[in-house]
């Protein structure tokens, strides 16, 4: 079930952090995990080391899981054809994308899903997909975010979710490997500067008030960039807006893994139709602790009918023992 948050304000921030834990497992043909690397210098100040009450499962996860998981994000630009059995349905392509790329968790924005739409999708794809949706309570035909889990390769038992800001921010706690859980925050930010700025400020306020676990992954459509290289032609976004997002990232202790991996490169996720302008507004931020365990930071085209590209990473549990194929 999705938990709605009450409207409260005014408490002091108290961020928390999930930690990697020991757990048995096999790589099952996956590449060996990356060796730990020295993190690039990060300007974020140290945060309180309070442990989240949701950081670890009390009992070991029973379902046998791989020690690596692929995480991706895509703005699907509306749900498209309502009937998912229609050959032109976007959800048929999303199901195929998750299956072909072996994606464990796919964050979606602009889903436009009413509760009955989600129920219909689960009737058709429920054997393989677990869909956690946060629609707009006032206008189903706008906004909306979701996290789609691949039931073939992820553990969907005991998944917890909270609608932090309905249709805009959804927090999901996913049991992953051993006793490790992942806190995944999916966002779809407003595209106008003033509402965008207020969105990040409001999100930080709610996190402080509710004592939510700090996200390990913070991903979606941000509708702004922090680095002028992420616009073509190059230019920066409004200072007030970027500062509000940077304040929230500092609060979470997350960093832009793609930019750290590709410090001088340009790659874009969204073209402005009818112009030569392009932007990398779709991003994945990752915690400082998890960044050394990540690789395959990439931006990809998909068969889904949308004007956005897919952002993609793979993360590993480095503390899981490596078990080879044997003789």
What's the mean pLDDT when you consider all of the chain?
83
User: What is the predicted pLDDT for the residue at 180?
Assistant: 85
Question: Cα separation of 182 and 156, whole Å?
Answer: 12
Q: Tens of pLDDT along 225-271?
A: 999 999 999 999 999 999 999 999 999 999 999 999 999 999 999 99
Over residues 135-177, the pLDDT tens digits come to 998 887 789 999 999 999 999 999 999 999 999 999 999 998 7
Give the pLDDT confidence of 298-315 residue by residue, as tens digits.
Answer: 999 999 999 999 999 999
- Which pLDDT belongs to residue 36? 43
The confidence band for 23, taking pLDDT boundaries of 50, 70 and 90, is very low
Looking at residue 320, what is its pLDDT? 57
Answer whether residue 208 shows pLDDT above 90: yes
Can you tell me the distance from the alpha carbon of 105 to that of 74, in angstroms, rounded to the nearest whole number?
11
pLDDT given for residue 58 in this prediction: 53
d(CA 327, CA 311): 38
**Tokens matching residue 311:** 């952002």
How many Å apart are CA 281 and CA 223, to the nearest integer? 5
Top-confidence residue, 318 or 293:
293
| Residue-range domains of the chain with CATH | 68-316 (3.60.10.10)
Do 315 and 277 contact (CB within 8 A), yes or no?
no
Least confident of 72-81, 191-200, 275-284: 72-81
Using the predicted structure, report yes or no on whether residue 37 has a pLDDT greater than 50: no
Contact 147, 186 (CB under 8 A): yes
Widest CA span of the chain, in angstroms?
A: 62
**Residue 56 confidence (pLDDT):** 55
Which region among 5-9, 113-117, 166-170 has the lowest average model confidence (pLDDT)?
A: 5-9
- Alpha carbons 107 and 73: distance in angstroms, whole number: 4
Lowest mean pLDDT among 21-30, 86-95, 102-111, 284-293: 21-30
> What are the tens digits of pLDDT across the range 56-92?
555 555 555 678 899 999 999 998 776 777 878 899 9
């Amino acid at each position: 079930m999705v938990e709605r948050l009450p409207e409260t304000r005014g408490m002091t921030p108290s961020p928390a952090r999930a930690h990697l834990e020991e757990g048995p497992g096999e790589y099952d043909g996956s590449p060996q995990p990356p060796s730990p690397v020295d993190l690039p210098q990060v300007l974020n100040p140290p945060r309180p080391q309070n442990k989240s009450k949701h950081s670890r499962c009390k009992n070991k996860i029973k379902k046998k899981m791989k020690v690596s998981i692929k995480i991706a994000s895509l703005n699907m630009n509306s749900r498209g054809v309502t009937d998912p059995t229609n050959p032109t349905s976007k959800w048929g392509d999303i199901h195929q994308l998750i299956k072909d790329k072996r994606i464990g968790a796919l964050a979606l924005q602009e889903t436009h899903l009413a509760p009955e739409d989600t129920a219909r999708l689960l009737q058709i794809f429920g054997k393989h997909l677990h869909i956690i949706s946060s629609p707009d309570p006032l206008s189903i035909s706008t906004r909306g975010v979701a996290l789609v889990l691949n039931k073939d390769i992820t553990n969907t038992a005991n998944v917890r979710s909270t609608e932090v800001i309905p249709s805009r921010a959804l927090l999901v706690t996913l049991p992953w490997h051993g006793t490790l859980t992942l806190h995944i925050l999916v966002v779809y930010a407003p595209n106008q500067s003033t509402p965008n700025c207020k969105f990040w400020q409001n999100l930080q306020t709610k996190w402080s008030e509710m004592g939510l676990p700090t996200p390990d992954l913070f991903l979606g459509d941000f509708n702004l960039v922090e680095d002028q290289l992420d616009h073509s032609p190059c230019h920066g976004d409004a200072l007030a807006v970027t500062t509000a997002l940077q304040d929230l990232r500092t609060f979470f202790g997350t960093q832009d893994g793609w930019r750290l991996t590709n410090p001088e490169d340009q790659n874009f996720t969204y073209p402005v139709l009818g112009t030569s302008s392009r932007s990398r507004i779709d991003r994945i931020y990752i915690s400082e602790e998890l960044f050394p365990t990540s690789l395959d930071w990439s931006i990809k085209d998909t068969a889904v009918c949308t004007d956005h590209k897919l952002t993609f990473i793979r993360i590993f549990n480095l503390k899981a023992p490596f078990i080879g194929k044997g003789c």
